[in-house]
Structure 1
Amino acid sequence: MPGGPTGEEPRQRLHPLSPALHGAKSLVVVIAGLSWSTLSRVGFGWFAAMVVVLALGATVLSLISWYNTGYHVVGRELRVHEGLIWRRTRAIPLERLQAVEVVRPLLAQLTGLAELRLEVVGGGKTEAPLAYLGVAEATALRQRLLAATGRAPETVPPAAGAPAAPAPTERWLHTVRNEDLLVSQLLTPQAFLLPFGLAFVVVQFLSEGSWSFIAVASTLTAMAGVLLQPARRVLDDWSFRLDRDGGALRIRNGLLETRVQTVPLNRVQTVGVTWPLLWRMKGWLRLRLEVAGYSAAEPDDRNRPDRLLPVGDARTGEQIVAEALPGVHLSDLPMTLPPRRARWLRPLSRSAVGAGLDDLVFAARSGLLTRQLTIVPYARIQSVRVTQGPAQRRLRLATVHADTAGGSGAAAHDRDLAEAWELAAELIARSHAARHRR
């Protein structure tokens, strides 16, 4: 592909197999879009012809798109060129790159390819402008971009069937056993309701009294929808591994789609701890993060680096929280309950609600059946609010919110009104002091 001015490196194209992979993905979308009702109306012959024509059209468009797509690094920018009739050039400043992730969906694993996904500070969503590249090419480009941003390179997902090879500077923290991951999904309300959902689908099928291809296919589609959510969670968190590399946490996970994500510790906004009801009998919990610079509105939660621990015991949770928030001890966080008159608003859950100030963080707890704890470092608090509802005003209660950049923050619910204002003033003072110490 021709380059630009003299001295500017030539544009590079994506891998030649990229149109085939995009065409295969389009074929799945086409079949899903046509649905079984279309098959029943037009018959199998016309249905197959429609699929072939639409798939060929999608492949041709993918081929044209591949031919007119290129990328190169110009100075301190990564430029991506695409489009045939409407030409578009995206210039991504390297200084605004928050992360460069190499992701390998199943088709990419089978063909030895990878996607390069970019997380740009302030971006509306995770960008995937380079799909697909050879693994070696993606690795080299990723290392180059990370070197230009001043961050050390990291490993990429391995070839299909091969274990992930950690970088020499990494320190292993924890690996989630796949057996625990499976059991944790069985101990969820969705798993308990799953037999009833499947029974409903089967009863509906049998009541129709029809064993036609359309009836069978529709039944299988409905059953797949019932099974999708718990199965997706297991596949996404399969072989979950957490490592520490300098000032970042490195997360590897996935079975059908393997990925490596990096979480810079200096961008952690909150740490959330969840104790689902059925997990408490095994002493298990789940940890999640909010990270500054990542897209909170990302429609696909797999693109957000919010996983810290899919499932683990209290001791493991204590260790990982201490890694994510140095100096913070999960079991020693101070917690006080709302006043007794808050029982009028929380007759069952008053004892499960609490808040407290640690030396380094603000912690707030809530939830009766599913208990939740949110931990916010003082330096990450952007604003503090005191709110009152009509019932709270009659009971002289208020809720204190500690907001973070682009996140939900934490809230101390139903505090005494005077205590709420004191808590808000203390949070503001500690937030200012923590930011000045950075």
Structure 2
Amino acid sequence: MSISVATAEPRRRLHPLTPLLKGARALVVIIAALSWQTLGRVGLGWFAAMVVAALIGQVILALISWYFTGYQVVGRELRIHEGLVFRRTRAIPLERIQAVEVVRPLLAQLTGLAELRLEVVGGGKTEAPLAFLTVDEARTLRERLLVLAGKATATVPAAEVADGEPAPVAHLERPIHAVANRDLLISQLLTPQTLLMPFGIAFVVVQFASEATWSFIGIASTLTAMAGVLLQPVRRILADWNFRLASQDESLRVRGGLLETRSQTVPLDRLQAVTATWPLLWRRKRWLRLRPHVAGVAAPNAGDDSGGARLLPVGDPETARLVLGEALPGVALDAIPFTPPSRRARWLHPLAWRVLGAALTDQVVAHREGLVTRQVLVVPYARIQSVRVVRGPLQRRLGLATVYADTAGGPSAAARDRDVREAWELAATLAERSRAARSVLAEP
């Protein structure tokens, strides 16, 4: 398929309401920056005046930024122009695009707008966010960028189709799974932060009742700290509300969100690995969650699963089998034959050595770890970039070694604390199977 694109199109501006939405979004940051101490020191009247003044200044800056910001598609590049004093133009080759998200924060939903976010190869964070566009503009631009990048097919106007070629046919989405909001709420109630919250509230009540010297600032600061403890489960609920997973054009489409709706794409040709996690308090219900690792897409911060794409925020083993089968056909978690490390590993992991395990199947290498929070990482052979055999000082003394299968910018599968001979045999097998899997992918 070839699509003829004009060498240059008129530069387009963002929506005129963009300065107001960015100013309103900065309101929370302004209040947090002034802090409760400022409120207690200057009083409510002056505090409100400071907030209003800072907000007006932010809106003025956002208005200037909006006036000098524009975007256009030139050939096979997305160009974004911005800057008043120092003009800057960012040219993003469409071949580097891995995913394009349509995100709708709460204020954008109320005004009928949306934000477009791009993930590019090698990017450590979201590249070139376009905030804000109308929903139709955002969806149309997303589809156009993905088609030009070769990540999707779509119906295009006849004038844009080369002579003698049929118009590409749009592939409809195939629904895979939708998570019940009730299960999502229960899963986040079964977290340490939520279960310990009543003890924190009781502590505040006792302190307030016994200490008459507690001030408004002290109470507010304590309540703010408690709210911070609940931030992670609350963010997960807000991010995964009405979670839906579908398949389209050799990729998985993820939708969800309450205050901020998201529409994400997980390209299967860039999928490096999948992590399955069983939190301790979920095990009685046999629940788990699945998270993909995609090359070129920024990963969430360590310990924070509220960011980044998810394949399944919460589900039972049968649902996990269905979802994992879409991402990695033929792979089932309960069918992976894990083998434990050497018994000498008890000296290094006296409690967790029975939990550790590794396995090689016909399609993937996997490892298992985690005494409290159980995790299984699955890596297809075709995604392995290198194989390492590592021996630390204690491992050398015990005659052990760990084999790592590294992926491109993603996690590494690890067969921990194996006998040295077994470790070298595993490394040779992994290297051979990786080469064979990549050669199959390279065949036309």
TM-score, normalised relative to structure 2:
0.90
Matches within 5 A, 1:113-128: 113-128=113-128
* Residue number in structure 2 paired with 1:411: 414
* Residue number in structure 1 paired with 2:191: 188
Residues 124, 297 of structure 1: 8 Å contact kept: no
Matches within 5 A, 1:333-372: 333-372=336-375
Superposed CA RMSD in Å reads 2.1
**1:230 maps to amino acid:** P
* Residue number in structure 1 paired with 2:44: 44
Q: Does 1:388 align with 2:397?
A: no
Give the drift of 1:197. 2.5
Residues 201, 222 of structure 1: 8 Å contact kept: no
* Residue number in structure 2 paired with 1:102: 102
Residues 124, 298 of structure 1: 8 Å contact kept: no
Residue 340 of structure 2 aligns to a residue whose secondary structure is: coil
Give the drift of 1:198. 2.6
For 1:215 and 1:340, the matched residues in 2 are separated by 53
Matches within 5 A, 1:282-361: 282-296=285-299, 304-305=308-309, 307-361=310-364
Give the drift of 1:27. 1.8
**1:21 maps to amino acid:** L
Give the drift of 1:136. 1.5
Which of 244, 247, 262 is 1:244 aligned to? 247
For 1:176 and 1:140, the matched residues in 2 are separated by 27
Give the drift of 1:127. 2.2
Deviates more, 1:186-195 or 1:265-274: 186-195
Q: Deviations over 1:166-191 (max 9, x none)?
A: x9722111111111111111222222
Residue 368 of structure 1 aligns to a residue whose secondary structure is: coil
Give the drift of 1:350. 2.2
Q: Does 1:200 align with 2:209?
A: no
For 1:126 and 1:437, the matched residues in 2 are separated by 32
Q: Does 1:428 align with 2:431?
A: yes
For 1:58 and 1:346, the matched residues in 2 are separated by 54
* Residue number in structure 1 paired with 2:77: 77
Residue 311 of structure 2 aligns to a residue whose secondary structure is: strand
For 1:218 and 1:312, the matched residues in 2 are separated by 37
Q: Does 1:91 align with 2:91?
A: yes
For 2:48 and 2:420, the matched residues in 1 are separated by 68
* Residue number in structure 1 paired with 2:277: 274
Cα gap change, 1:259/1:7 in structure 2, threshold over 3 Å: closer, same or farther? closer
Deviates more, 1:253-262 or 1:127-136: 127-136
For 2:268 and 2:312, the matched residues in 1 are separated by 15
* Residue number in structure 2 paired with 1:12: 12
Give the drift of 1:207. 4.5
Q: Deviations over 1:186-206 (max 9, x none)?
A: 222222222222333334444
For 1:179 and 1:294, the matched residues in 2 are separated by 30
Cα gap change, 1:377/1:7 in structure 2, threshold over 3 Å: closer, same or farther? closer
Residues 68, 82 of structure 1: 8 Å contact kept: yes
Cα gap change, 1:369/1:226 in structure 2, threshold over 3 Å: closer, same or farther? closer
Residues 125, 297 of structure 1: 8 Å contact kept: no
Give the drift of 1:148. 1.2
Residues 14, 132 of structure 2: 8 Å contact kept: yes
Residue 350 of structure 1 aligns to a residue whose secondary structure is: coil
TM-score, normalised relative to structure 1:
0.91
* Residue number in structure 2 paired with 1:151: 151
Q: Deviations over 1:33-83 (max 9, x none)?
A: 000101111222221221111111111000111111111111111111111
Residue 220 of structure 2 aligns to a residue whose secondary structure is: helix
Cα gap change, 1:153/1:214 in structure 2, threshold over 3 Å: closer, same or farther? farther
Residue 330 of structure 2 aligns to a residue whose secondary structure is: coil
Residues 125, 298 of structure 1: 8 Å contact kept: no
For 1:211 and 1:342, the matched residues in 2 are separated by 53
Cα gap change, 1:397/1:351 in structure 2, threshold over 3 Å: closer, same or farther? same
For 1:151 and 1:268, the matched residues in 2 are separated by 14
* Residue number in structure 2 paired with 1:33: 33
Deviates more, 1:360-369 or 1:123-132: 123-132
For 2:271 and 2:124, the matched residues in 1 are separated by 19
For 2:292 and 2:360, the matched residues in 1 are separated by 20
For 1:301 and 1:366, the matched residues in 2 are separated by 17
Residues 7, 75 of structure 2: 8 Å contact kept: no
For 1:9 and 1:248, the matched residues in 2 are separated by 30
* Residue number in structure 2 paired with 1:261: 264
Cα gap change, 1:127/1:7 in structure 2, threshold over 3 Å: closer, same or farther? closer
**1:85 maps to amino acid:** V
Residues 403, 410 of structure 1: 8 Å contact kept: yes
Deviates more, 1:28-37 or 1:223-232: 223-232
Q: Which runs of no fewer than 5 residues in structure 2 stay unpaired? A: 1-5, 155-169
Q: Does 1:399 align with 2:402?
A: yes
* Residue number in structure 1 paired with 2:61: 61
Q: Which runs of no fewer than 5 residues in structure 1 stay unpaired? A: 1-5, 155-166
**1:353 maps to amino acid:** L
For 2:363 and 2:66, the matched residues in 1 are separated by 51
Which of 176, 179, 186 is 2:179 aligned to? 176
**1:75 maps to amino acid:** G
**2:145 maps to amino acid:** L
* Residue number in structure 1 paired with 2:167: none
**2:179 maps to amino acid:** V
* Residue number in structure 2 paired with 1:161: none
Give the drift of 1:278. 1.6
Residue 405 of structure 1 aligns to a residue whose secondary structure is: coil
Residues 382, 438 of structure 2: 8 Å contact kept: yes
Q: Percent identity?
A: 68
For 2:376 and 2:305, the matched residues in 1 are separated by 20
For 1:303 and 1:285, the matched residues in 2 are separated by 17
Q: Does 1:222 align with 2:225?
A: yes
**2:122 maps to amino acid:** G
Residues 252, 259 of structure 1: 8 Å contact kept: yes
